[in-house]
């Protein structure tokens, strides 16, 4: 629905560059239409924009030499991990060369003693967790999709576990990054903390490939808790559910996950996952800790939920029950799509201070009703972050216009409540119009100054976050 500005007057790759890349990379250099199309779209509804060529890179040195070559020809470069971004991050809207990092999928080191690991950027979170099998450790960041860790760093991803374990911001210790001219830098390190110079790691996490390409990451791991239990609880209305969340957070219960789904999302899940959950606003909880601590947390939460008219508080201690519950939660996106066959999903992503969460959701629910949108709600409400899956018929101009206007009102509402236009999906193409509204133009000028300092020719994933 957001039509990117396609540079239609754009020339193909300079012949000298194409020849150099083909000579160097052989059949790992492709201009085949299928490869270009596959690498020109993500999971969003943004109009695809294929790159001019795709290279399947296998090492940091290769990425460096591709970037250096493109730099000498002033050709854009775009990194591609798993293709699961949600704001058009990887669309080649100014053409250029896509560097596919999915082949850089080696887990380079797992250090159980230090609770960290070093991986190539193409390693996915599921692959990492499989590799951690037998170590007693896990990597908690879980954005739903099986994204690559490089992509997750680039977009500052988070997900259901962030309320306890933080986002990529807190869980990347250091990175190897290729800069716009091909130089390779290492940021951060393996010490748990450091006060040595500017925090380049945190600057690059969330920079969406516009400052450099992440090729390796050292990340924090966490001990798999001795005990895990889940629970699900329905509420008569969203306000009571949200007030439960607020009280749980304020009491400092170290809850691992606390997810809200509205009645419509529950309906979608019941249909899709063959569950028979009550079709009412519902919280999904997960508790991590020692057996005693988990029981204590769950009891505390059950009491809080009961005081907010929570119904059917239902424990799931057996792993298979927990898995079924969370699988249903994870499938919510696809379940929601099933509510309106043929529809595109436009996913919103605001995040507000938790004291404003009830207001923000209530106003939003009223707005949905008035807009006659079909838009189930799912959210990482422990962080104040919630998504609406706007089910939009892409061929209906009314649907598209209505969803766009609604998204704008939602972002403006969240910003009025001191929130952010994106809790975890990033700016990409879709949220650029809100960036200055959120941060003010002086702060955006600082971001632009940094971009110009590190990428003066605007070759690193150009057209994302802001126009330089």
Distances (CA, A) of 393 to 48, 52, 389, 403, 427: 17, 30, 13, 10, 23
Site for a second copy in 101-140 (CB under 8 A): 111-116
Q: Closest approach of Cβ 443 to a second copy, in Å?
A: 4
State the DSSP H helix or E strand holding residue 219, giving kind and residue range, or none if neither. strand 213-220
Residue 453 binding a second copy, by CB under 8 A: yes
Pick the closer one to a second copy by CB: 155 or 215.
155
Q: Closest approach of Cβ 452 to a second copy, in Å?
A: 7
- What secondary structure letter does DSSP report for 114? G
Measured distance CA(149)–CA(116) in Å, rounded: 14
Of these, 30, 102, 155, 230, which contacts a second copy (CB under 8 A)? 155
Q: Closest approach of Cβ 110 to a second copy, in Å?
A: 12
Radius of gyration of the chain (CA): 22
Size of the site for a second copy (CB under 8 A): 91
Measured distance CA(325)–CA(352) in Å, rounded: 26
Site for a second copy in 247-276 (CB under 8 A): 249-252, 254
Q: Closest approach of Cβ 101 to a second copy, in Å?
A: 20
Return the SS3 of 286: strand
Phi, psi of 3 (to 5 degrees): -85, 115
> What interhelical angle do 60-72 and 15-25 show, nearest 10?
160
Of these, 79, 110, 147, 447, which contacts a second copy (CB under 8 A)? 447
Of these, 255, 421, 429, 459, which contacts a second copy (CB under 8 A)? 421
Of these, 65, 148, 167, 348, which contacts a second copy (CB under 8 A)? 167
Q: How far is CA 372 from the centre of its chain?
A: 28
Of 18-26, 125-133, 324-332, 439-447, which part binds a second copy (CB under 8 A)? 439-447
- x/- mask, a second copy, residues 366-405, rule CB under 8 A, reads -----------------xxx--------------------
Tokens of 13: 């790759």
Q: Among candidates 217, 151, 185, which has minimal Cα distance to 464? A: 151
Residue 161 binding a second copy, by CB under 8 A: no
Residue 216 binding a second copy, by CB under 8 A: no
Neighbour count for residue 406 (Cβ, 10 Å): 22
End-to-end CA distance of the chain: 23
Site for a second copy in 170-199 (CB under 8 A): 170, 179, 183-187, 189-199
Neighbour count for residue 145 (Cβ, 10 Å): 22
- x/- mask, a second copy, residues 280-309, rule CB under 8 A, reads ---------xx-xx--x-------------
Of these, 12, 236, 397, 440, which contacts a second copy (CB under 8 A)? 440
Residue 225 binding a second copy, by CB under 8 A: yes
């Amino acid at each position: 629905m957001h039509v990117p500005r396609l540079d239609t007057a754009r020339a193909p790759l300079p012949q000298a560059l194409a020849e150099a890349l083909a000579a160097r990379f052989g059949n790992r250099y492709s201009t085949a239409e299928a490869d270009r199309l596959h690498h020109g779209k993500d999971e969003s509804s943004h109009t695809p924009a294929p790159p001019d060529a795709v290279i399947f890179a296998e090492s940091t040195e290769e990425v460096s030499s591709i970037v250096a070559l493109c730099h000498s020809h002033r050709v854009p470069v775009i990194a591609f991990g798993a293709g699961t971004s949600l704001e058009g991050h990887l669309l080649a809207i100014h053409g250029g060369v896509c560097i596919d990092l999915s082949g850089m999928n080696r887990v380079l080191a797992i250090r159980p003693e230090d609770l960290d690991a070093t991986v190539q950027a193409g390693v996915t979170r599921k692959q990492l967790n499989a590799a951690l099998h037998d170590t007693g450790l896990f990597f908690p960041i879980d954005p739903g999709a099986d994204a690559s860790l490089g992509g997750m760093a680039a977009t500052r991803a988070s997900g259901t576990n962030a309320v306890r374990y933080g986002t990529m911001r807190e869980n990347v210790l250091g990175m190897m990054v290729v800069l716009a001219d091909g130089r390779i830098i290492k940021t951060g390190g393996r010490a748990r903390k450091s006060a040595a110079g500017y925090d380049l790691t945190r600057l690059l996490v969330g920079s969406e490939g516009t400052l450099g390409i992440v090729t390796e990451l050292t990340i924090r791991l966490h001990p798999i808790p001795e005990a895990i239990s889940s629970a699900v609880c329905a509420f008569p209305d969203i306000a009571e559910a949200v007030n439960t969340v607020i009280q749980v957070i304020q009491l400092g219960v170290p809850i691992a996950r606390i997810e809200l789904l509205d009645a419509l999302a529950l309906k979608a899940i019941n249909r899709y996952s063959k569950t028979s959950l009550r079709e009412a606003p519902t919280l999904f909880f997960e508790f991590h800790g020692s057996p005693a601590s988990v029981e204590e947390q769950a009891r505390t939460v059950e009491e809080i939920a009961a005081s907010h008219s929570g119904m059917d508080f239902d424990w799931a201690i057996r792993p298979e029950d927990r898995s079924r519950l969370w699988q249903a939660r994870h499938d919510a996106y696809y379940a929601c799509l099933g509510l309106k066959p043929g529809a595109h999903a436009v996913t919103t992503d605001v995040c507000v201070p938790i004291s404003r969460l009830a207001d923000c959701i209530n106003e939003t629910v009223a707005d949905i009703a008035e807009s006659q949108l079909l838009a189930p709600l799912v959210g990482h409400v422990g962080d104040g972050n919630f998504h609406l899956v706007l089910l939009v018929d892409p061929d209906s101009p009314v649907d598209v216009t209505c969803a766009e206007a609604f998204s704008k009102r939602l972002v403006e509402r969240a910003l009025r409540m001191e929130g952010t236009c994106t809790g975890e999906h990033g700016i990409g193409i879709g949220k650029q119009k809100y960036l200055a509204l959120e941060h003010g133009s002086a702060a955006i000028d600082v971001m632009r100054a940094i971009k110009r300092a590190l990428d003066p020719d605007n070759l690193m994933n150009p057209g994302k976050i802001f126009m330089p």
